[in-house]
């Protein structure tokens, strides 16, 4: 089962996202801050991340840059879906390395499609990087 790290300071939105993702067969892990999310991702890289732009202390774009600059190749390759209602946040998230962007208010079908597409690319990349068995 694919595991998605949800990073948003709204507990209510995280709960909604968990419910939507679980209904589509994904497991979820939650974080409220960029620092907590990075610690979780370092300890056990998720298969994908959903990252809000406006977070306490450090922005979602800061977190995306941290992930893309991580020493772990596995963590660097995790697809990241940027998320925000803040006008002008799409470009900083994408410039930092987010794979795609979903605007709030969220169209749930669009978010699920973004997660599914990101995980298909992740799975395809992971299969290409596995050396053939002898």
Strand duo 48-52 + 27-31: pairing: unpaired
Percent helix, strand, coil in the chain, to 5, is: 50, 20, 35
Residue 111: inside a domain: yes
Domain housing 39: 3-129
Q: According to the model, what pLDDT value does residue 130 have? A: 45
* pLDDT per residue as tens digits for the range 9-21: 999 999 999 999 9
**Residue found under tokens 């605007």:** 103
Assign residue 94 the CATH number of its domain. Answer: 3.40.50.2300
Cα 21 from Cα 125, distance rounded (Å): 22
Burial tier of 109 (Cβ tally within 10 Å: 0-12, 13-18, 19+): exposed
* pLDDT per residue as tens digits for the range 53-109: 999 999 999 999 999 999 999 999 999 999 999 888 999 999 999 999 999 988 888
The total of structural domains in the chain comes to: 1
**Residue found under tokens 């410039």:** 95
Residue 134: inside a domain: no
For residue 129, is pLDDT > 60?
Answer: no
Residue 124: inside a domain: yes
């Amino acid at each position: 089962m694919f595991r998605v790290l949800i990073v948003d300071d709204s507990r209510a939105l995280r709960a909604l996202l968990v419910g939507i993702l679980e209904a589509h067969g994904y497991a979820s892990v939650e974080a409220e801050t960029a620092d907590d999310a990075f610690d979780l991702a370092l300890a056990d890289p998720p298969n994908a991340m959903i990252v809000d732009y406006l977070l306490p202390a450090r922005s979602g774009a800061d977190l995306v840059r941290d992930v893309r600059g991580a020493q772990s190749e596995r963590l660097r390759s995790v697809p990241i879906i940027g998320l925000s209602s803040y006008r002008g946040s799409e470009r900083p998230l994408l410039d930092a390395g987010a794979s795609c962007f979903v605007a709030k208010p969220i169209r749930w079908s669009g978010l699920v499609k973004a997660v599914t597409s990101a995980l298909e690319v992740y799975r395809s990349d992971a299969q290409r990087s596995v050396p053939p068995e002898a």
